[in-house]
Structure 1
Amino acid sequence: MRAIKKLNSKLALLTILATSLVSFVPMGFAKDVTPTQAWQMIDQQALVIDVRTAEEFNEGHIEGAVNIPFEQIVAGVAKLGLKNDDSIVLYCRSGRRSGIADDALTQAGFSNTANAGGVDGLIQSKP
């Protein structure tokens, strides 16, 4: 009987600990979207961020996009004064850097971000 009480106490402590840790996990999550889904977000006033280099951005970009290189994404978004629930669409050349930027923003507490992948696919699918 004593062993069962001890086990129940340990299980109760583990349950409390696990429940407490959940509060430290960000509620949003980074996600990849199709170009069509990205354009729907853009049509609903999402901010479009090109995370390529300034040189790549100057060679051509989505109209209205803001250029913030992926290594500077969290600081760059902070400078813009965006809220954690603002809608943000990220893209780069292939989707790799925008995925990294998406993860960084999610870890920083942003909950409505999306990786739209590569610029060429986005441009080709524009409605």
Structure 2
Amino acid sequence: MSNVIYHSKINQIGEFAQEALADGMLILFKEGAPSDLADYCFIHSHDDLKHEIQIGQTLQLGKHVFNITSVGDVANVNFRELGHITLRFDGNHQAELPGTVHVEGEQPTQLFVGDEIKILSD
């Protein structure tokens, strides 16, 4: 049975966030993101990250499910402190940037306010 190690909801979608999503990138930031970044982010209610994000865990965004394939060196610190990570939907097995989490699965074309964000660990 999977354990939920993180759970929040999207509360706001920045003006350019859906465009970034169309380019294969989703930027999450907790409420209170700097205004110059917020336009590109999916702003969410931030929860405690109960365990480190690791390869092999499952990420759920709304009705979409993804396998985590790599985690950047500072992704856990950034997510714990700022609610901030960049998700890439390319399935890379090596993180492109230190704050990036790569996942595999069908890239969503759109997300909505109220969609849940969950990270599950076996």
Normalising by the residue count of structure 2, what TM-score does the alignment of the two structures yield?
A: 0.26
Q: Which has the higher strand share?
A: 2
Structure whose alpha-carbon radius of gyration is higher: 1
